[in-house]
């Protein structure tokens, strides 16, 4: 599936040969992803009018999850099991700076927050509950940690980084890695200095939801 301009979608086979094309009623805003569910594989695609779901085999529409006002998905969609039930949730960020978790099984929004912003969140267990949490660039912090269960803020960096435009937020990203001794390291772009910034992310500093 190749999103083109003005809602046009082009389908090509694994060998690159053209299969067919069709037009959606809304402009495409993210790359597609395929999610494995109990009812089969579902293809998800961000649009200007929400998050659209299609049958991955037939590309027949299954439904659309609308978002409030003029908000719509941007960046990359992420698929993560946030609550340990072995069923995936989809995490998306929006043009208005919100982070939203969606239950793929029923298509409902699990939680939504505007505490942080990032085109692609990083994931790590911040509160030692054996479930993934999110780390995103903060709107006025270098980074904030969000509970994967509720979306509430469970950690934030100490520094203040005022951001005045959405463009500045778009340019920031973070990543989390676990080193050999189990420590969490946060790496991210820092607009106040050239290159990357890295520091240890202590679990002991995380707040309980």
User: Which pLDDT band, with edges at 50, 70 and 90, does 77 fall under?
Assistant: very high
Residue 134 lies in a domain: yes
User: Which pLDDT band, with edges at 50, 70 and 90, does 151 fall under?
Assistant: very high
195 in the same domain as 122: yes
What's the pLDDT at 118? 65
* Lowest-pLDDT range of 93-97, 120-124, 154-158, 191-195: 191-195
Who wins on pLDDT, 146 or 139? 146
Structure letter (DSSP) for residue 107: T
- 30-41 pLDDT, tens digit per residue, is 888 999 888 889
Which of 91, 114, 137 is a domain's end point?
Answer: 114
What's the pLDDT at 203? 58
In the predicted structure, residue 58 carries a pLDDT above the cut 60: yes
Domain total of the chain = 2
Who wins on pLDDT, 181 or 81? 81
Residue 59: which domain range? 28-114
Q: Mean per-residue pLDDT for 110-138?
A: 85
Residue 16 lies in a domain: no
Q: Mean per-residue pLDDT for 157-173?
A: 61
Which of 114, 136, 161 is a domain's end point?
Answer: 114
In the predicted structure, residue 207 carries a pLDDT above the cut 50: no
User: Which pLDDT band, with edges at 50, 70 and 90, does 201 fall under?
Assistant: confident
Residue 163 lies in a domain: yes
In the predicted structure, residue 47 carries a pLDDT above the cut 80: yes
Count of CB atoms situated within 10 Å of the CB of 179 = 9
Largest CA distance in the chain: 53
Summary mean pLDDT of the chain: 81
131 in the same domain as 102: no
For residue 80, the domain's CATH number is 2.40.10.480
Which of 86, 114, 142 is a domain's end point?
Answer: 114
Contacts 24+ apart (CB under 8 A), 112-116: 112/151, 113/146, 113/151, 113/152, 113/153, 114/139, 115/139, 115/144, 115/146, 115/151, 115/152, 115/153, 116/141, 116/143, 116/144, 116/146, 116/153
User: Which pLDDT band, with edges at 50, 70 and 90, does 92 fall under?
Assistant: very high
H or E segment and range at residue 42: strand 40-47
- 50 within 8 A of 67, measured Cβ to Cβ: yes
Structure letter (DSSP) for residue 160: B
- 187 within 8 A of 196, measured Cβ to Cβ: yes
Residue 22 lies in a domain: no
In the predicted structure, residue 111 carries a pLDDT above the cut 90: yes
Q: Mean per-residue pLDDT for 121-145?
A: 86
Distances from the Cα of 180 to the Cα of 58, 128, 167, 184, 185, angstroms: 44, 17, 36, 10, 11
Residue 17 lies in a domain: no
């Amino acid at each position: 599936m190749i999103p083109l301009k003005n809602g046009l979608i082009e389908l090509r086979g694994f060998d690159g040969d053209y299969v067919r094309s069709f037009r959606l009623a809304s402009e495409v805003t993210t790359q597609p992803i395929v999610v494995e569910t109990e009812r089969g594989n579902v293809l998800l695609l961000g649009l200007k009018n929400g998050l659209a779901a299609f049958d991955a085999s037939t590309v027949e529409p299954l439904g659309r999850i609308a978002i409030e006002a003029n908000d719509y998905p941007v960046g990359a969609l992420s698929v993560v099991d946030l609550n340990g039930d072995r069923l995936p949730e989809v995490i998306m960020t929006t043009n208005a700076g919100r982070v939203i978790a969606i239950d793929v099984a029923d298509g409902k929004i699990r939680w939504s927050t505007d505490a942080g912003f990032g085109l692609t969140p990083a994931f790590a267990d911040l509160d030692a509950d054996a479930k993934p949490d999110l780390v995103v660039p903060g709107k006025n912090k270098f980074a904030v940690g969000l509970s994967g269960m509720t979306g509430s803020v469970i950690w934030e960096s100490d520094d203040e980084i005022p951001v005045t435009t959405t463009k500045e937020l778009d340019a920031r990203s973070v990543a989390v890695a676990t080193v050999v001794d189990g420590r969490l390291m946060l790496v991210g772009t820092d607009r106040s200095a050239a290159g990357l910034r890295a520091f240890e992310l202590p679990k002991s500093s995380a707040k309980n939801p």
